[in-house]
């Protein structure tokens, strides 16, 4: 996706987009759908589809009234929003399971509960990782939940790509070994 002035569009939240701005806005939406689709592959949390995840993310962004510094900052905030939405959904599933309110449908209730438990445990490990290194936690979150590339994160953190690559490998290793226990 080319570097378009999306942050200006989003910061202004104008309803009167020009034709070019509408095309740019559509590109942003399609990019978020792609990221959400990847989330659904990683976490098949059966309660949200990709459109719902993108729409919920968009609503959460609009409620935050943030000004985005650039494209990478915008997508990093989207990654955080998607993470929070998926974790909140997992907590709801966990509560429903404990109250025996999970309904069998397209997803096996036990599988759904297992994925919810995994997501909540991932969140706990991310909290621990943040205490160790906030940048490692952010790199993991932005890549895992937002699909940001090493290059995008290097620009975001003002470091070189190799540093981000090392951070990603370290964060992934720490999270992975903690989740295996």
pLDDT digits (tens, 9 = 90+) for 71-127: 888 888 888 888 888 888 888 877 776 667 655 554 565 666 677 788 889 999 999
142 belongs to a structural domain: yes
pLDDT score, position 135: 97
pLDDT exceeds 90 at position 131: yes
126 belongs to a structural domain: yes
83 belongs to a structural domain: yes
- Take residue 146 and report the two structure tokens written for it: 């937002």
Asked whether the CA dihedral 60, 61, 62, 64 is positive or negative, the reply is positive
- Take residue 24 and report the two structure tokens written for it: 């740019």
Q: Which domain holds residue 55?
A: 6-180
pLDDT exceeds 50 at position 5: no
Instruction: Quote the DSSP letter at residue 44.
Output: -
Please give the residue that has the higher pLDDT: either 97 or 175.
175
Cα 100 from Cα 73, distance rounded (Å): 40
pLDDT exceeds 60 at position 46: no
Lowest mean pLDDT among 18-22, 79-83, 126-130: 18-22
96 belongs to a structural domain: yes
pLDDT score, position 41: 57
Report angle CA 126, 130, 136 to the nearest 5 degrees.
Answer: 90
Q: Which residues are CB-contacts of 72 (< 8 A; sequence separation ≥ 6)?
A: 148, 152, 153, 155, 156
12 belongs to a structural domain: yes
1 belongs to a structural domain: no
Lowest mean pLDDT among 72-81, 87-96, 132-141, 162-171: 87-96
62 belongs to a structural domain: yes
80 belongs to a structural domain: yes
What average pLDDT does the chain have? 78
The total of structural domains in the chain comes to 1
pLDDT score, position 84: 87
pLDDT score, position 8: 52
Report angle CA 30, 4, 16 to the nearest 5 degrees.
Answer: 80
pLDDT exceeds 50 at position 28: yes
pLDDT band at 134 (very low <50, low <70, confident <90, very high): very high
Q: Which residues are CB-contacts of 39 (< 8 A; sequence separation ≥ 6)?
A: 50, 53, 82, 86, 145
């Amino acid at each position: 996706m080319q570097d378009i002035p999306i942050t200006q569009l989003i910061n202004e939240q104008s309803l009167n987009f020009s034709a070019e701005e509408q095309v740019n806005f559509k590109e942003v939406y399609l990019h978020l759908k792609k990221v959400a689709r990847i989330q659904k592959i990683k976490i098949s949390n059966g309660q949200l589809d990709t459109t719902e995840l993108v729409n919920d993310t968009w609503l959460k962004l609009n409620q935050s009234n943030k000004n985005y510094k650039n494209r990478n900052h915008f997508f990093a905030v989207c990654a955080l929003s998607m993470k929070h939405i998926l974790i909140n959904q997992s907590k709801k599933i966990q509560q429903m399971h404990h109250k025996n309110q999970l309904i069998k449908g397209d997803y096996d209730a036990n599988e759904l509960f297992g994925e919810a438990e995994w997501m909540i445990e991932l969140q706990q490990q991310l909290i621990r990782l943040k205490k160790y290194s906030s940048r490692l936690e952010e790199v993991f979150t932005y890549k895992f939940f937002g699909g940001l590339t090493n290059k995008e994160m290097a620009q975001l953190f003002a470091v070189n790509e190799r540093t981000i690559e090392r951070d990603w490998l370290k964060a992934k290793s720490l999270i992975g070994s903690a989740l295996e226990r």
